[in-house]
Amino acid sequence: MPRALITGVAGFIGSHLAESLLDRGYAVIGIDNLLTGDVANIARLANRDFHFIKHDVTNYIYIEGPVDYVLHWASPASPIDYLQLPIQTLKVGALGTHKALGLAKEKGAKFVLASTSEVYGDPLEHPQKETYWGNVNPVGPRGVYDEAKRFAEAMTVAYHRYHRLDTKIVRIFNTYGPRMRVNDGRAVPAFIGQALRGEPVSVFGDGMQTRSFCYITDLVDGIVRLMESDLNDPVNIGNPHELTLEELARTIIRLAGSPSQIARKPLPKDDPKVRQPDISRARTLLGWEPKVSLEVGLGHTIAWFREKLSVAETTTASERPV
């Protein structure tokens, strides 16, 4: 039975990845300091071949026994998180990546880095290929996340070249699905939460900036294919179907059956104008492409958020004094 270690396991993507690997016959060790993760995301794994360790991966990582794969997913990932936690974001991208790579080297394990489309910054190339170097403002408010991931990529490649470690880099484009936090700050959970509460849906700027949204099951399938491949170059994993944020907001309002209207808000500094992956490398070398349509994926996600918000409202009501 192969044994995989996932840092950031209690996060949105980390928890889905752990569940998928368990389903595929892996034993999984999960590490998380719960800075932005939630143990509720991994509660369903308690009776499976899963072991959780609460630990800050910027410190030395000690694991008994063999490890075949190290998947480094630990990092604040939403704008709200990394703007509130800039130092922690930089530290987990630098020190955390170094400690995770050190563990992989010690165990002779394959290493997979969760990188991001944010390494491309506000891109001057569209769509974005893995060969594009990016257009990033290192001292802007988003720089703490963008540069943390760019440094993590450089460190990963250095371990591959110098220590001959088998490393993979997955550049994740916008992903959505159940287990995202309601107050995450990213477009899909923000729009869904506002629509389900009947509040105005906040669209920044003129709403014409574009994104490409990949459903979580498609993303995890791409990650596992890359993990089990012999590739070492970065690979974009995302859905190339591009739409404006206003189109996304209106689609969510319609699918949620909401009376909400669009509300305009000022555009944040350095917000990318376009974002669309070129997935030619994933298609050709991994045989991967997304299968879940936006409407189907949003339907599943809205249903999950509807239930979560309903439970939260019931809990809050029960706590009110009589």
Q: What is the pLDDT of residues 99-115, one digit of tens each?
A: 999 999 999 999 999 99
Is the predicted pLDDT of residue 299 greater than 80, yes or no?
A: yes
Instruction: Output the pLDDT for position 310.
Output: 81
- 314 pLDDT band, cuts 50/70/90, is low
Mean pLDDT, the chain, rounded, equals 94
In this prediction the pTM is 0.94
Is the predicted pLDDT of residue 322 greater than 50, yes or no?
A: no
Instruction: Output the pLDDT for position 313.
Output: 60
Is the predicted pLDDT of residue 316 greater than 60, yes or no?
A: no
Q: What is the 3-state secondary structure (H, E, C) of 263-302?
A: EEECCCCCCCCCCCECCHHHHHHHCCCCCCCHHHHHHHHH
User: DSSP state, 42?
Assistant: T
Is the predicted pLDDT of residue 317 greater than 60, yes or no?
A: no
User: DSSP state, 127?
Assistant: S
Does 145 participate in catalysis according to the annotation?
A: yes
- Percent with pLDDT over 70 in the chain: 96
Instruction: Output the pLDDT for position 318.
Output: 46
Q: Compute the residue count for the chain.
A: 322
Instruction: Output the pLDDT for position 184.
Output: 85
Q: What is the pLDDT of residues 257-297, one digit of tens each?
A: 999 999 999 888 777 888 999 999 999 999 999 999 999 99
Tokens 């994740």 map to which residue? Answer: 172
- 182 pLDDT band, cuts 50/70/90, is confident
- Percent with pLDDT over 90 in the chain: 88
Selected catalytic residue, list 120, 145, 159, 176: 145
Distance from C-alpha of 216 to C-alpha of 214, rounded to nearest angstrom: 6
User: Looking at residues 84-111, what average pLDDT do you find?
Assistant: 98
- 135 pLDDT band, cuts 50/70/90, is very high
Burial class (CB in 10 A: 0-12, 13-18, 19+), 271: middle
User: Looking at residues 185-204, what average pLDDT do you find?
Assistant: 94
Q: What is the pLDDT of residues 198-253, one digit of tens each?
A: 999 999 989 899 999 999 999 999 999 999 999 999 999 999 999 999 999 999 99
User: Looking at residues 48-59, what average pLDDT do you find?
Assistant: 98
Sorted by where each starts, the structural domains of the chain and their CATH numbers stand as 3-175+215-240+275-291 (3.40.50.720)
Distance from C-alpha of 121 to C-alpha of 137, rounded to nearest angstrom: 7
> Higher confidence at residue 313 or residue 131?
131
Angle at 7 between CA 181 and CA 183, to 5 degrees: 10
